[in-house]
Amino acid sequence: MFGVVSVSAMALGVAGMGAGAASADTVVDTVRVGTAPFGVAVSPDGSRAYVTNVVSDSVSVIETAGNAVIGSIGVGDAPAGVAVSPDGSHVYVTNQLEDTVSVIETAGNTVIDTIEVGDTPVGVATTPDGLGVYVTNNGDDTVSVIETADRTVVETIGVGNGPQDVAFTPNGSRAFVTNALEDSVSVIETSENTLVNTIRVGDYPRGLAVTPDGLRVYVANGGSDTVSVVDTATDTVAQTIPAEDFPWGLALTPDGSRAYVTNLYDASVSVIDTATNSVVERIRVGNYPYGVAVSPDGSPVYVVNHEASMVSVIADETCSGSLCTS
């Protein structure tokens, strides 16, 4: 239904990690947001981070230059997922207990529309061309497809049991959806909005991300404490990476060299070197880290700490000690 964006494949690489004091990811700041934050997304220019707050029914707007909250936007009941349009003009927020999506215009940080979707919407992502928004509806096992031009649902796609997160290939031709209660990933062909495959992964898959070359999908499996690496050419799991206690959110750097995985019950973030598919760092953050997002230039990384009602800001700095032990 939506246009396919042409992209070129890119080589993936990562620098080796040294022992002792070294250049490593560490928490450089924390930002207090609303109550019980859930999701986070960064604007395409990196100037703003948007955080959904489940209990506050709001979105906190963080100015990334100073890591300060500059605004709070009221949305629907129990906001969860958040996505920014490719041009940065709009933010889309799923409201779990209202079965709606709030549309925020970023120029004025105001809600300009509310769209009815399926039962208990959780995940949300915009197509690479910005023409569509896909929403996972956890309560009725569907994905709502929104056309951004007129902000209406134009398609509803049946997927697996308990859909959570959604991500696209860089050219927008396929969407991948984690199904937490079915231990699977649904593959959607976006040209016809049809389910074309189901991939078995680990237990209770939640967060996922597609590499910039579109060749791999990384899936966080909360119930099995692993990350599945899916080969998109065959739609099969090519490798399984051990993580910490209940991996939840997952985000890739723009060059695809690293994956950041939040570990819900370990209050940590695992950093995966995608060249070797091995964990190279473990970063301590706040309690119950949920969502994670990476800036367009690869640093900093923003991690939502649900219980602490704050966001940890992670950057690549020289450090040693408990915050950057692997």
Rounded to an integer, the average pLDDT of 277-305 is 98
pLDDT digits (tens, 9 = 90+) for 219-250: 999 999 999 999 999 999 999 999 999 999 99
pLDDT score of 12 more than 50: no
Whole-structure pTM value: 0.91
Average pLDDT over the chain, rounded to whole?
92
What are 116's strand-pairing partners? 100
What pLDDT was estimated at residue 218? 99
What integer is the mean pLDDT of 293-315?
98
pLDDT, tens only, 181-224? 999 999 999 999 999 999 999 999 999 999 999 999 999 999 99
Residue 24 pLDDT grade (very low, low, confident, very high; cuts 50, 70, 90): confident
Structural domains in the chain, sorted by start:
30-313 (2.130.10.10)
Instruction: Kindly report whether the peptide bond that precedes residue 128 is cis, defined as omega within 30 degrees of 0.
Output: no
Rg of the chain in Å (alpha carbons)? 18
The 10 Å Cβ neighbour count of residue 247 is: 33
Cis peptide bond N-terminal to 37, omega within 30: no
Residue 273 · residue 280 · CB < 8 Å: yes
What distance in Å separates the CA atoms of residue 182 and residue 200, rounded to the nearest whole number?
Answer: 8
Residue 299 CB contacts under 8 Å (≥ 6 apart), including other chains: 314, 315, 316
How far apart are the C-alpha atoms of 229 and 15, rounded to whole Å? 20
